[in-house]
Amino acid sequence: MLDYTVFHTIAWPGPYAWYFFVIGISAALFFFSALSWFHKEFEPLRHS
């Protein structure tokens, strides 16, 4: 039904790749930082 996706029709230039990369890294860092408040094994990440 929803076979159409916009990602296959847009030519993604380099800056968009860097943008999504930076957003992904930032989200991962936030995720691990949030984990450090709930799991003690991630606490050294918060204190480094």
Q: What angle do CA 18, 11, 5 make, to 5 degrees?
A: 100
- Looking at residue 10, its pLDDT comes to 67
Find the DSSP H helices in 1-48: 14-35, 43-47
Residue 40 lies in a domain: yes
Token digits for 18?
């860097």
Contacts of 8 (CB under 8 A, 6+ apart): none
Q: Given this model, what pLDDT does residue 38 score? A: 76
Q: Which of 22, 23, 28 is nearest to 42 (CA)?
A: 28
Report yes or no on 14 lying in a domain.
Answer: no
Structurally, how many domains does the chain consist of?
Answer: 1
Q: Which residues constitute the domain of residue 28?
A: 24-48
Q: Judge whether 46 lies within some domain.
A: yes
pLDDT at 27: 93
Query: How much is the pLDDT for 4?
Result: 65
Is 18 part of any domain? Answer: no
pLDDT tens per residue, range 1-48: 566 666 666 676 778 888 889 999 999 988 887 877 777 776 776 666
